[in-house]
Every structure is written in structure tokens, then in C-alpha cells.
Structure 1
Amino acid sequence: MTDIGFSLSNFLFVSGVSLLVVLILMTVTALIGRRQGRVSVVDTAWGIGFLVVAVVAGSVGTGVLWRRLLLTALVAVWAGRLARHMHTRNKGKGEDPRYQKMLADQPGDPFLVAIRKVYLVQGAAVWFVSLPIQVSAASGGGMWWVAVVGAMVWGLGVIFESVGDAQLAAFKADPSNKGTIMDRGLWSWTRHPNYFGDSSVWWGLWLVAASAWPGVLTVLSPVVMTYFLVFATGARLLESQMSERPGYPEYQQRTSYFIPRPPKSRSGAS
């Protein structure tokens, strides 16, 4: 243990075990996906992956106890809700169009292509994005008030993500809304409240980790997560699929892309 309260050897152990359990999880997920004939099972494994990393970090880390327990609890709440939501959303359905597009016209065995382009990529992303949790597990005392701010940012993210998902599910369940664009509730403030919430969750978790050195150095983890949510596999990909739907261009004009803000009036947007 160094004089700043960080154990490099413990971090390497936590990180190594985390990588191992994520690889095992993605291997099992790939086998399940092959049996079911759809890659989208990885969406459920996404949240579970962060949960197992948090449990590993909280269990074998030697850092300050209160922060390990806090991060484990925060990740468990977020990951449990997300995994349950994704499982319910995808249960009994075919392949997600996102993965169909991603894997279309790829040479080679489809299962091996899915391993290379989906399962390994998402496993690596889980391990990298969870670095604040891993580092914090080996860190000593720090500024508790920064952790409190982080927990508040996390809470804001969970609210946006869970409420946004619930509002969208209720909207889709109403037959009278078929063929229309969801532009109510949080969806009138941002076109992607669930993605904004997800990003906020990880900035909040990073702040908790950054309350003690060297957690602040893991800032690339929430940066990468936000990049994927905004520009890579999240909002931008969904926008490309939705842009041809009637009413969506008008919705884009009056509603913020990512950061929530009051919507423009329909007359002003036109």
C-alpha cells in the first residue's frame, strides 16, 4: 500500500479477476445466443457484466469499505433494472435490427463473426468502462462529498433511464399510438432520455471513484461510454433508423438530441 492509500497489486488482482469473469459471462452468452439464434441476448448480459465486476471489486478489493459498498450497491440497482428491462423487451422476439445490420454480408461463419464483432467487443467494453469501479476497489480514503455528488448524478441518470423506458413502454402498449412518434414526458425534453440517463449513471459512478486518488484518472471510461451512447451504437444508430418515419423530422426540430432542455413549440419548430 502506497502513502496515498492505493494498492497497485490489489488493483491488478481485481482487474484480472474482473476480466476473467466477463470473458466467462460473454462465452456463456454467446452459446445461449447461438442456441436461440439471435445475438441480441447480449443486451441482457451487458448489465449483468457490470454487476459481476462490481461484486468482484467489492469482494476482493482492499480499498476503503464504504466506497466499495456504495459502488456495489449503485451498480447493482442500475444493472439489475437494465438487465430485467432488456430481457423483458427482447423476450420472444427475433433478432434486433441493429445486429442484423451490423452482421449483414459479413464473410465467414456467422457465429464466429458475432463473437468477433459483438461478444468480444462488448466484453472488452464492460471491462474498460468498469475501470472506475476496479480502481476504486483498491483505493483508500478520499473526499466523501465528491462521492455524494457522484451518487446524486447517478440518481439523476437512473431516473431519466427508468422513467424514459417506462414512458416509452406505456406509449407502445397503447394501440391508439401506433404509427405516431413518442414525444411526451421526458421524450419531449430529449430524444434519448434513456441514453442520457445511462451516460449520467457512468459519470456519477466515475465521480464516486474520483473521490479518491487515482480514480480521477479513469475519466476515459465515462467518456467512452458517452461516445458509444451518442455517436456509435446508441442514439445516432437509432436516429438513422427512425429518420424515415413520418413525423420524426419534425420531432427532431423541436426536441433536443441528447442533453435535456425545454422543447420548442410546434409552431416555432415549423
Structure 2
Amino acid sequence: MGSPVNVLDGDYLAITLLVTAGYQLTGFAIAWTFQFDKITDFTGGSNFFILALLTLLLGQEFHGRNILASVFVMVWAARLAGFLLFRVLKTGSDTRFDDIRSHFFKFFGFWIGQILWVWVVSLPVTILNSPKVSAGVAPGFGTASDILGIIIWAIGWAVETAADLQKFRYKSTNPPKEKPIDVGLWAWSRHPPYFGEILCWWGIWTLSIAPALGGTHNSGARSALLGSLVSPLFTMILLLFGSGVPTAEKPVAQRFYKMAYPEDDTLTGHDHGERKPTNAAWANYQAYRGQTSILIPLPPTIYRALPLWVKRTVLFDLPMYEWTPRS
């Protein structure tokens, strides 16, 4: 088995990129042809599973660290893909794509972005499983970085899983529409699944870098492992500034405002004075927003007591997430 693996050595990243591009473009062709969203998120999540399993099998080095890092990615991907597929099948469509589904280049651009997301975020396990890294001398499994990575990933996965389950159960009870979700982790964070996802990828990266910290003498492998830091950083940037928190905050605020002021069809900047809302929706949302951390879970009593500069810097509660009718 040694020689086929060696042939793949120099092209390992290219192979995973080609597999990702082929899988995502096939998904795009199906989604565009039939104009539906049933496979969009599933294709993204399941792609991570494919890359983790593929790179582990191609590397032919089944050490504890390689196996565990790959399994962590596959468990995370299977849960995410399965949950998102179940959700879209239950709801029938994904409203995020309503404005781009019928526009070829806009919809195609989303899938190109998904290729980039999957390939970049998978880099820690892809590089760890690469023969040039996995076949080198690495410290035995159980180093401090291994243990820390396992703990971080486990907390992140538990938070993400629990938050998705809590929200699903909450919505299935037909709760009052004018009241934001404030059960379980959602009482401590406005976006706990995003926090859990960020932790998962910090954990996978931390678990994967032990050979770079004290094992391999291959400088290229060491640099590649440390450079895979781009994975958790890209995840944070995407969720904090891209298709995560920003795209979730504004529609929620607008929905509660519209419930309070159904006659206002502008939502763009007219001064409505001190007019009282027609129901409690807007007041409920503002109260929830004022006491609930944007990302990192904290008890409301602690969050309220923190100075604004701490919320802005340490907790990432940035002004860009704020929305008012005049914004």
C-alpha cells in the first residue's frame, strides 16, 4: 500500500479541492435544475464527512490522533447535515434562498462559497491525515494539545447540538410569536449554535497540531499544520461577519418590529417618534436583546452588569449587529 500513497503525497490538497468542487457543483446542478433547497445545506455538511473519511483512508496511517480528529469531523458533519436536511424537509424550503434561487450567478456564487468553506475549514484534518505528516514522527497520543482539543470540541459539539434541539422543540410547541426564544442556552446566548460550531473547529485544530509542536522534523509539514489555523479563524470570520450572525440578527429584529407596527411599510428610516407598539413584540425583543449575549453564553444578570466596552470587545456584541427602524 505504500507506493500508491506516495503517489498521492504531493497532490493531497489538490485532490480534496477537486473532490469538494465536484461534489458541490453536482449539488448546484441538481438544485438549480429543480429549483429547490432540499440538498443545499446537506451537501455542505456531508462534504466534510467525505473529506475526513477520504483523507484518513488515503493516508493509511491509523494513529489515535488521526482517527479521533477524523471521527470528530465526521460526527460533527453527520449531525449538522442530518439536522439541516430534516429541518428543510419539515419546513419545505429555505427562505435564505428566496432572493437568489432564480438568479443563476447569485445562486452559483453561493455554491462557490460553499466549496471554499468546506475545503478551508477541513484543512486541519486534511493536513493531519496527509502521508507527509501522518507518516512522520509524531508524539504519542495524549499530549496536552490532544486533551485540550478533545475538551474544546466536546463542549462545542454539546452546545451546538443542545441549542439546535432546544430551538426545534420550542418551535414545535407553537410558542407565542411576539416572544423571542429564551429557553435553555437561548436564554444565555442569541446564537448558541454558532458559538458551538466555532468551538468545534478550534478543538479540531488544537487536536491536530501536536506533530507540529513536538514531533515531525519536516518543516513543511510543521508549517502546514500551524497554517491550518486558517480553519477556526475562517469559521469565526464567516459566522461573525458573513453568513452567520449578521444575516440572522437583522431579519429577526425586523420581524418583531413589523409585528409591533404592522402599518409601517417603510422599515427604512422614517422617524416614528415615541409611538407605543401595538403589541409587546418589539418591547419583548428589545428586552431580550438587552440582557442576552450575542454569542458567548452568559447568565443575563452577568451580561447586563458588564460595561459596554467588554460587550463590544470580549463578547463580540458589535454595533454592526444593531438594527432599528432608522438604521
Within 5 A, what are the aligned runs for 1:223-234?
A: 223-234=233-244
SS at 1:175 equivalent: coil
Task: Report deviation, 1:124.
Answer: 1.5
Flag the structure with more relative contact order, 1 or 2, with Cα contacts below 8 A and sequence separation at least 6.
1
Q: Does 1:22 align with 2:20?
A: yes
Q: Does 1:262 align with 2:299?
A: yes
**CA 1:34–1:148 in structure 2 vs 1: closer, same or farther (change >3 Å)?**
same
User: Contact 1:254 / 1:264 at 8 angstroms: preserved in 2?
Assistant: yes
**CA 1:11–1:251 in structure 2 vs 1: closer, same or farther (change >3 Å)?**
farther
**CA 1:222–1:9 in structure 2 vs 1: closer, same or farther (change >3 Å)?**
farther
Distance in 2 separating the partners of 1:113 and 1:258? 29
Task: Report deviation, 1:148.
Answer: 2.0
Residue deviations 1:121-149, cap 9 Å, x none? Answer: 11121111111111111324136321221
Question: Which residue of 2 is the match for residue 132 of structure 1?
Answer: 124
Question: Which residue of 2 is the match for residue 142 of structure 1?
Answer: 139
Distance in 1 separating the partners of 2:53 and 2:304? 51
Question: Which residue of 2 is the match for residue 3 of structure 1?
Answer: none
Distance in 1 separating the partners of 2:162 and 2:24? 29
Distance in 2 separating the partners of 1:11 and 1:261? 46
Distance in 1 separating the partners of 2:156 and 2:240? 15
Distance in 2 separating the partners of 1:186 and 1:8? 47
User: Contact 2:38 / 2:85 at 8 angstroms: preserved in 1?
Assistant: no
Task: Report the aligned-residue RMSD.
Answer: 2.5
Residue identity over aligned pairs, in percent, reads 26
**CA 1:132–1:240 in structure 2 vs 1: closer, same or farther (change >3 Å)?**
same
Question: Which residue of 1 is the match for residue 278 of structure 2?
Answer: none
**CA 1:11–1:183 in structure 2 vs 1: closer, same or farther (change >3 Å)?**
farther
What amino acid sits opposite 1:263 in the alignment? P
Q: Does 1:237 align with 2:235?
A: no
Which of the two has higher C-alpha Rg?
2
Q: Which runs of 5+ in 2 are unaligned?
A: 213-221, 257-280, 307-327
User: Contact 2:290 / 2:304 at 8 angstroms: preserved in 1?
Assistant: no
Question: Which residue of 2 is the match for residue 221 of structure 1?
Answer: 231
Residue deviations 1:89-122, cap 9 Å, x none? Answer: 1015454232334x38xxxx7234311x111111
Within 5 A, what are the aligned runs for 1:68-147?
A: 68-91=66-89, 93-101=91-99, 103=100, 110-115=103-108, 117-138=109-130, 139=133, 140=136, 141-142=138-139, 144-145=142-143, 146-147=145-146
**CA 1:199–1:235 in structure 2 vs 1: closer, same or farther (change >3 Å)?**
same
Q: Does 1:249 align with 2:242?
A: no
User: Contact 2:149 / 2:205 at 8 angstroms: preserved in 1?
Assistant: yes
Distance in 1 separating the partners of 2:193 and 2:234? 17
Distance in 1 separating the partners of 2:128 and 2:304? 50
User: Contact 1:11 / 1:135 at 8 angstroms: preserved in 2?
Assistant: no
Distance in 1 separating the partners of 2:246 and 2:80? 20
Total equivalences in the alignment: 257
User: Contact 2:198 / 2:236 at 8 angstroms: preserved in 1?
Assistant: yes
Question: Which residue of 2 is the match for residue 172 of structure 1?
Answer: 171
Question: Which residue of 2 is the match for residue 34 of structure 1?
Answer: 32
Normalising by structure 2, we get a TM-score of: 0.72
Residue deviations 1:147-203, cap 9 Å, x none? Answer: 221111111111011100000001000124443211111011111111100111000
Question: Which residue of 2 is the match for residue 181 of structure 1?
Answer: 180
Residue deviations 1:212-237, cap 9 Å, x none? Answer: 22222211111011111122101121
Question: Which residue of 2 is the match for residue 191 of structure 1?
Answer: 190
Distance in 1 separating the partners of 2:202 and 2:31? 31
